[in-house]
Chain A
Amino acid sequence: GAGVSQSPSNKVTEKGKDVELRCDPISGHTALYWYRQSLGQGLEFLIYFQGNSAPDKSGLPSDRFSAERTGGSVSTLTIQRTQQEDSAVYLCASSPRGLAGTDTQYFGPGTRLTVL
């Protein structure tokens, strides 16, 4: 079936604007993850959803970042008042059950965010 999809693929915004990034996980996957990949920082975990709940949001870098998931499916990552240091590739992944240690995570192609 279809893999994880993300939109938009590229987003250029001005400093101070809000942005929304969307993730469509693999159908039936209960777990969804957001990661960020930036130069010099590698790939960092942001938040994890199990169904519509986020039991681990410890990776969100500031209160400007928030995420939600509805219907156990689509997730939106929102960044308010964007800063230049928010420029990165934002990757979404999903896994069948989200059980620690057993699931393979399947990644989407990412959204490249550039804050001018």
Chain B
Amino acid sequence: KQEVTQIPAALSVPEGENLVLNCSFTDSAIYNLQWFRQDPGKGLTSLLLIQSSQREQTSGRLNASLDKSSGRSTLYIAASQPGDSATYLCAVNGETSGSRLTFGEGTQLTVNP
């Protein structure tokens, strides 16, 4: 059974700092990995999707990497801003799980002004 773990569970940084969020998964047979953002009381917003054949994806100040063989992904946020404060979730679409996503429990990020 696929398990997804995110470290750290919570992170507090001063504005302007670069930071890395970590995600690991136990079964490397995946189609893709997605990073989502969730604001309090809101749904999930997709940030980046990395296909299993890709090593990284970039969108603005966000960069996500994928090392499928070692079961790891990182989300790099450059020059963090208070508006980046949210919970970040990673999710994998496993080859044996159809279209379903398996989520980690998230990293709660606070960026202090």
Contacts and interface: CB of A to CB of B under 8 A. Distances in A.
Interface residues of B, number: 27
B31 interface: yes
A95 B41 CA distance: 22
B111 interface: no
Contacts of B89: 43
Interface residues of A, number: 29
Contacts of A1: none
Interface stretch (A61-69, A70-78, A80-88, A102-110): A102-110
Contacts of A106: 46
A99 B32 CA distance: 12
Contacts of A2: none
Contact of A109 (B42, B93, B106): B42
Interface of B: 31-32, 34, 36, 41-46, 49, 51-52, 89, 91, 93, 95, 97-106
Q: Would you list the 7 A-B pairs with minimal beta carbon distance, nearest first? A: A101-B31, A43-B103, A107-B44, A107-B43, A42-B105, A45-B100, A109-B43
Interface of A: 4, 31, 33, 35, 42-45, 48, 55-56, 59, 91, 93, 95, 98-110, 112
